[in-house]
Amino acid sequence: MIILHEATLAENILNIAFDAAEKNHAKKIFAVGLTLGELAGVEVEALTLSFDVLKKNSPAENATLKINRVPCRATCNKCGKTFTLERYNFFCPECDGVLILQSGRELLVDFVDCE
């Protein structure tokens, strides 16, 4: 089953890739690089599946989606320690400080490899 959110996202990623290919007068897209934070709320499997379905009969037919996952990191505003978290907590595990999110919500197309 394809989740709508991921299908829409895959469509947007492909549109960015098509635009990049057009600007570079490229006919084929080989790879699309995506930076994706652990907290971006995207299912990688669903996204890859959607991408593979939507790329058919397009200049990106043989393109692979290269996903660079960014872990969730947060710094405490009290003790100053930085933690890598499985999921985002508002409070520091070591003191009662508040955690400030540093990374993990990224969702952007890094590069489009085309020719």
Closest-CA residue to 113 (of 12, 11, 16): 16
Q: How far is the CB of 94 from Zn ion (least distance, A)?
A: 5
**Residues within window 65-104 making contact with Zn ion, judged by CB under 5 A:** 76, 78-79, 92, 94-95, 97
Q: How far is the CB of 37 from Zn ion (least distance, A)?
A: 22
Size of the site for Zn ion (CB under 5 A): 7
Q: How far apart are CA 62 and CA 32, in angstroms?
A: 11
Nearer CB in complex with Zn ion: 39/92: 92
Q: How far is the CB of 105 from Zn ion (least distance, A)?
A: 21
Tokens, residue 55:
């790329």
> Do 18 and 28 touch, CB atoms closer than 8 A?
no
Q: How far is the CB of 102 from Zn ion (least distance, A)?
A: 14
Instruction: Tell me if residue 6 falls in helix, strand or coil.
Output: helix
Sequence-ordered list of residues with C-beta below 8 angstroms from that of 54, at least 6 positions apart, any chain: 7, 10, 11, 14
Nearer CB in complex with Zn ion: 9/92: 92
List interacting residues with Zn ion (CB under 5 A): 76, 78-79, 92, 94-95, 97
